[in-house]
Amino acid sequence: MDLTTLTSFFMWCTVLNVGLLILWALIWLTIPDLVYRIHTRWFDISRQNFELVFYCFMGVFKVFFLIFCLVPWLVLLIIG
């Protein structure tokens, strides 16, 4: 793989993950009750614990996105 291919790969990885994160946030902001009701069909969890798990998972997703998508893409842009 050459530098151009890797840069393109990480660019698209970043774009797709940003899109997923925006979609996830928009769904959570617009219909949080529906999201909670759907998940309580599978898991017996209180609303407070559900929101805690949801925000923690979103935070972990953001950290992984930064480490594994955005930072490598920016580094490849700098060295390319």
Q: How confident is the model at residue 80 (pLDDT cuts 50, 70, 90)?
A: confident
Per-residue pLDDT of 11-38, as tens digits, reads 999 999 999 999 999 999 999 999 999 9
Helices within 31-70 (DSSP H only): 32-42, 47-65
Per-residue pLDDT of 64-73, as tens digits, reads 999 999 999 9
Q: Which two tokens stand for residue 5?
A: 């291919």
Task: Describe the crossing of helices 32-42 and 3-30 by its angle, rounded to 10 degrees.
Answer: 100
